[in-house]
């Protein structure tokens, strides 16, 4: 989890994306991961 957090900070720093855009991106990513896990089960 710490490594993921560090990557997120670097992405936010380099891309300078807004918090809203980031939240939307995370929301989509979580849905994709959850759907993938559900499909595998």
Q: How far apart are CA 6 and CA 3, in angstroms?
A: 5
Question: For position 17, what pLDDT does the model report?
Answer: 60
Question: For position 16, what pLDDT does the model report?
Answer: 66
State the SS3 of 1-41: CHHHHHHHHHHHHHHCCCHHHHHHHHHHHHHHHHHHHHHHC
- The pTM assigned to this predicted structure is 0.30
Question: For position 19, what pLDDT does the model report?
Answer: 67
Residue 38 has which token pair?
């559900």
Q: Which residues contact 22 (CB under 8 A, 6 or more apart)?
A: 8, 12
Domain segments of the chain as ranges? 2-40
Question: For position 13, what pLDDT does the model report?
Answer: 75
Could you list the pLDDT tens digit for every one of the 41 residues in the chain? 689 888 888 877 776 666 667 777 777 777 777 777 666 54
């Amino acid at each position: 989890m710490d490594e993921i957090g560090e990557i997120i900070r670097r992405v936010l720093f380099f891309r300078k994306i807004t918090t809203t855009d980031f939240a939307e991106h995370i929301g989509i990513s979580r849905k994709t991961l959850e759907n993938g896990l559900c499909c595998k089960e």
